Structure 1
Amino acid sequence: MTYGIWNSAEKRFVFGIAAETPRKAERAFRKTCLNWRKWRYEIKPIPEEFKNPRNPHYAHLIRKGHNTMNANEIIIPARLSYANIWEARQSLEGDKMQYSCSLLIPKSDIKTVQAIKTLMAKIEKEATTTKWGGKKPATYTHPLLRDGDAERPDDETYAGCYFMNAKAGADHPPKIIDTFCNPVMDRDEVYSGCYANVKVSIYAYNHAKGGKGLGAGLVAIQKTKDGARLGGDTGTDGFEVLSPEDEDMLS
């Protein structure tokens, strides 16, 4: 007998987890889903006739202490700004087509800020010997973690925040999921101004024109809650539903 994760709200098995014991099934679920506590779920035996494909990463997920994320990846709770996440675009004529997003990180979130700085320091140390010829730059032309108060003093959206720009190539669109870790199909659900857990991959570069520095690859976005939209309304804001009497007056 094998056990899986039953979504009590949707009445179906999810994640393709098939474990030998209920405990192993729950452990795999917690490793797989970022916000497992928010789920309405049960650990249930999988019927013999039911085909629930095993999670291809399950064997790795149940190893004690094994982290399925890459060493240079981090998940950042942030507010999205300039969220060009649904279609690849050019920033400037001649630039590569890419996805991009600016992540607003409250300075009050000391734990997250420190985790980002720790990872950046680790990657800087590695890059100093592998990419930068043994010498770390005193300053960066394009810093990765930037101060919103200093760089955007007239923009209240950036007040009290650090911000980080993350990008992904046109052939590697970011995965966009909801709180249940299901893909988001409605593009209006994830937008500039909403809040999300964003997985980025931090890397070092050494470009002939761009110089040395750190960049952030945009890997995945998990929306956590709504927020005031940034950059204008949706185009239909402000309208009201017309009654039959109103329609007669306009005809």
Structure 2
Amino acid sequence: MENTSIVVENVRLSYVHLLKPYGRDPMAKQKYSVTILLPKSDVEGKQKVDAAIAAATRNGIANKWNGAAPAKVPTPVWDGDGLTQNGNKFGPECAGHWVFAASTPADKPVDVVDGRMNRIIDATQVYSGIYANVCVNFFAYNYQGKKGIGCGLGPVQKVRDGEPLGGSAPTAKSVFHVIQEPAAPSAPAINPLTGQPM
């Protein structure tokens, strides 16, 4: 088996589910997952991805596909300037990028660290829009008659913050203002001789 693990660097992350497993369909198995946006300007990064997919394809021919690859091997990498698998346009954040999703089962938590190799457990630090280095593993599959290349998710290192993608919840400061408490009524002056208000 050829090695098919690579690290893609300074990629933007979307649809981030790194600290808690997620399943879009309530009946589906939950997974840790992320969508990776690799800039088309990162020629070296794309070459690494292509080489890993080619190695995974050779592994598939040798071990999963009975000695022959499909006529067209489906891969998880899409052109962000083109159309999605469903024929829809990608979001504007995908323009100028190669787009691919990576995941791992819920029983295999993702090791997420910062630039100093400290583990990140604060969910506010890991969101759609951050930039990261990501270890991924391309693999051949043969599932219910479907053959192709999938992408497994390994450790993630946050590189820097980025503009959040998607509908993030508003902050309290963005929707509220400081409440001015009504001034307490001033006490009337008291006549020191009578003890009555003046």
TM-score band, normalised by shorter chain? 0.7 to 0.9
User: Quick one: structure 1 residues 156 and 96, their matched pair in 2 at CA, closer, same or farther if it must change by over 3 Å?
Assistant: same
Partner Cα distance (2:54, 2:125) in 1: 35
Partner Cα distance (1:196, 1:158) in 2: 16
Tell me by how many angstroms 1:238 deviates: 5.1
SS at the partner of 2:180? helix
Alignment match of 1:224 (pick from 142, 150, 159): 159
SS at the partner of 1:247? coil
Tell me by how many angstroms 1:154 deviates: 5.4
- Give the TM-score normalised by structure 1: 0.65
Partner of 2:66: 133
Partner of 2:16: 83
The number of aligned residues is: 178
Partner Cα distance (2:132, 2:22) in 1: 22
Counterparts of 1:48-127 in structure 2, within 5 Å, are: 71-77=3-9, 78-127=11-60
Deviations, residues 58-107 of structure 1 (Å, cap 9, x unaligned)? xxxxxxxxxxxx92211112111000112112222321111111000011
Tell me by how many angstroms 1:177 deviates: 0.2
Alignment match of 1:190 (pick from 112, 122, 126): 126
1:181 aligns with 2:117: yes
User: Quick one: structure 1 residues 88 and 154, their matched pair in 2 at CA, closer, same or farther if it must change by over 3 Å?
Assistant: closer
Partner of 1:148: 80
Q: Which has the larger radius of gyration?
A: 2
Q: RMSD of the TM alignment (CA)?
A: 2.4
% identical aligned pairs: 32
Partner Cα distance (2:43, 2:24) in 1: 32
Counterparts of 1:191-206 in structure 2, within 5 Å, are: 191-206=127-142
Partner Cα distance (2:172, 2:93) in 1: 21
Where relative contact order (Cα < 8 A, 6+ residues apart) is larger, the structure is 2
Partner Cα distance (1:193, 1:90) in 2: 20
- Give the TM-score normalised by structure 2: 0.81
